[in-house]
Amino acid sequence: MPPGHRARRVAVSTVTATAAAVALSWVLAPAATAPTGPLRLAAAAAPADPGRPTERELRKRLDELNTEAERLTERFNKARVELAKARRAERDAAKTAAELEAKAAPARAQLGRLAAASYMSGGPDALFLASGDAEALSASAYLVQNQTAALGRLQAQIDQADRAQRVAAAKAAQAEQAAAQVKTARKAAKAKVDEVVKQLDKLTTTKAKDPRTGLTATVKGSGLPAKMARKALTKLGSPYVWGAAGPNSFDCSGLVVWAYAQVGKKGLPHYTGDLYQLGRKVSRSELRSGDLVYFGSDLHHMGIYLSDGKYLHAPQTGDVVKISRLSDRSDYAGANRIS
């Protein structure tokens, strides 16, 4: 090795269905220059476990479960809408019945007073004559008969409102039961999805160690972000150069743009602000391998989340692509996931 050069070794091992470990190593020049030696891969094949599903089988199963989960989600959404309608109808019917009852109460009281007065003045027979002729009734008896008829009509409306309330309550109960059943089924489907994802993660786990910082991290998952993170890891030790996007030097967003291009997602904007607008936002507690993390209120820096609170990034001039801890920074601004 020429004088002034240092040897550096980075090991990245990937566990797959047929490979127990892959070791990546290369010879790097000083921090100011890019790696010059060819990347050498050494793979030790492990016999496949006939009792364990392959990655292809797991992906197929995952697609099926996701389709099932989507259907259950829409059924759940429909059940929630129907439950809301049923409860609204129940409330409306109860309100109508209460309003009618409020109107009937004084009418009943008035009828009671009139009936009592008529009874005291002429007896109950004077209230309702057999002929039914209003002119044949005393004024008070006619008034009682009129009030009785009005109260009867009001009571019919109250009875109708009560029936509507009972029907609405029954529908609300049915809708609530249906929503609960679909929610339970959706929860079970999600558990199945999570289990298959865990199995896939076990088949596709990559471990890396940064000899410069001494930090180790693990990339889990088989989705596009995790694949991008694995590609980015192959550039550990590459120098930071402002405005560079590979293949031998990078700035912070350039590393992301280059890594995504290697896994088929080309043309991403070489600017942290635009990258932050893509994909979907994720909370810090939801971070997964391959999520993009941002720093500063103006998003002046970014990196690629790996695992266990560690991320890969191209920091600044004079430094190299390396693994760092999120906890070492106080200006964490957010994260997103681009799939």
Q: For 82-110, how does the pLDDT look when each residue is reduced to its tens digit (9 = 90+)?
A: 888 888 888 887 888 777 777 766 666 66
In the predicted structure, residue 72 carries a pLDDT above the cut 70: yes
Token pair, residue 31, equals: 């921090």
Count of residues for the chain?
339
b/e code 27-39 from CB counts within 10 Å (16+ = b): ebbeeeebbeeee
CB atoms within 10 A of CB 146: 14
Q: Which domains does the chain have, with CATH numbers?
A: 58-202 (1.10.287), 204-337 (3.90.1720.10)
Among the residue ranges 151-165, 169-183, 265-279, 324-338, the one predicted with the least confidence is 151-165
Average pLDDT value for residue range 111-125: 57
337 within 8 A of 288, measured Cβ to Cβ = yes
pTM of the model: 0.50
CA separation, residue 72 to residues 76, 84, 186 (Å): 6, 18, 6
Q: Which helix (H) or strand (E) holds 154?
A: helix 139-203
**In this predicted model, which residue has the larger pLDDT, 113 or 88?**
88
Closest among 293, 272, 271, 297 to 284, alpha carbons compared? 293
Which pLDDT belongs to residue 143?
Answer: 62
301 within 8 A of 295, measured Cβ to Cβ = yes
Average pLDDT value for residue range 264-287: 96
Q: Which helix (H) or strand (E) holds 75?
A: helix 55-122
CB atoms within 10 A of CB 261: 17
Closest among 145, 149, 151, 142 to 107, alpha carbons compared? 151
In the predicted structure, residue 115 carries a pLDDT above the cut 90: no
3-state secondary structure of 134: helix
DSSP calls for 269-281: -SSHHHHHTSSEE
Averaged pLDDT of the chain: 76
HEC profile of 257-311: HHHHHHCCCCCCCCCHHHHHCCCEECCHHHCCCCCEEEECCCCCEEEEEEECCEE
Phi and psi, residue 298, nearest 5°: -100, 10
Average pLDDT value for residue range 177-202: 80
Q: Which helix (H) or strand (E) holds 196?
A: helix 139-203
Kindly state the percentage of the chain with pLDDT values over 90.
Answer: 37
Angle at 289 between CA 283 and CA 291, to 5 degrees: 45
Grade residue 36 by pLDDT with cuts at 50, 70 and 90: very low
Which pLDDT belongs to residue 114?
Answer: 58
pLDDT in tens, 126-146: 444 444 454 545 555 566 666
CB atoms within 10 A of CB 229: 29
Strand 310-313 and strand 216-220: pairing?
unpaired
Which pLDDT belongs to residue 121?
Answer: 57
Strand 216-220 and strand 322-325: pairing?
unpaired
Closest among 23, 21, 71, 64 to 44, alpha carbons compared? 21
Report long-range pairs for 128-136 (Cβ below 8 Å, ≥24 apart).
none
Among the residue ranges 48-57, 70-79, 121-130, 202-211, the one predicted with the least confidence is 121-130
3-state secondary structure of 113: helix
pLDDT in tens, 263-274: 999 999 999 999
